[in-house]
A and B are shown apart, each in its own frame.
Chain A
Amino acid sequence: GQQVMQIPQYQHVQEGEDFTTYCNSSTTLSNIQWYKQRPGGHPVFLIQLVKSGEVKKQKRLTFQFGEAKKNSSLHITATQTTDVGTYFCAGSNNAGNMLTFGGGTRLMVKP
């Protein structure tokens, strides 16, 4: 079945440093979604990428979808303590009948 893997599993950064999490799928995806889960909270939808090679930005966050639509990345520039949480990617296969979540990357930011 479809597998979605994320690396790294954990990341500690100093406030102000950049951060990147990578998402890789075993199969070609029709689209990819990104979610953020604050400690003790629930996942909250951030963004969706659909097109091959697509790049979207939300303030300090940059999301990319690979040309082959099998990988994606989330990059945060100049992290802040408010960025703390676990970032999940979730991909749909081409049949669109299953959204598979990656294991998440837990970001910790030291002030």
Chain B
Amino acid sequence: GAGVSQSPSNKVTEKGKDVELRCDPISGHTALYWYRQSLGQGLEFLIYFQGNSAPDKSGLPSDRFSAERTGGSVSTLTIQRTQQEDSAVYLCASSLLPRGSNQPQHFGDGTRLSIL
């Protein structure tokens, strides 16, 4: 596709349920990032994937959060046993080259997650 695609656009779920968020990066982009943005706040880095290298998970807030990237393309972010503080917009971004190569990041529209 032309841009980064994320699904679902909105997700409402009950506390304690698991959720899975999907990101389809721009074709050919090797780097993929997940961020979390709470209402009116900045971007909180979660995880970074580069090609087939081990991901940088340093931003994941707890062991309830995990992510994978299959075949170097589509990525899924999974949150287990959701809590109300997990409510936020989850943004995915991709870039053509690895971080450190001064490439701009292209963002998807995000998934707005609401935990009841």
Contacts and interface: CB of A to CB of B under 8 A. Distances in A.
Interface of A: 30-31, 33, 41-45, 48, 50, 88, 92, 95-104, 106
Band of interface residues on B: 10 to 19
B41 A48 contact: no
A22 B3 CA distance: 30
A50 B42 CA distance: 23
B110 interface: yes
Interface stretch (B18-26, B64-72, B96-104): B96-104
Interface in B73-116: 91, 93, 99-102, 104-110
Contact of A43 (B45, B91, B100, B102): B91
A96 B99 CA distance: 7
A43 B107 CA distance: 6
- Max count, chain B CB within 10 A of own CB: residue among A41, A99, A100: A99
Interface of B: 35, 40-43, 45, 91, 93, 99-102, 104-110
A31 B102 contact: yes
Contacts of B40: 106
B68 to A, nearest CB: 21
A59 to B, nearest CB: 19
Contact of A42 (B42, B91, B101, B104): B91
Contacts of B104: 33, 45, 48
Given A41-B109, A42-B108, A44-B107, A92 B43 contact: no
A111 B9 CA distance: 31
Given A42-B110, A45-B105, A45-B106, A100 B99 contact: no
Contacts of A104: 41-43
A88 to B, nearest CB: 7
B41 A103 contact: yes
A97 B43 contact: no
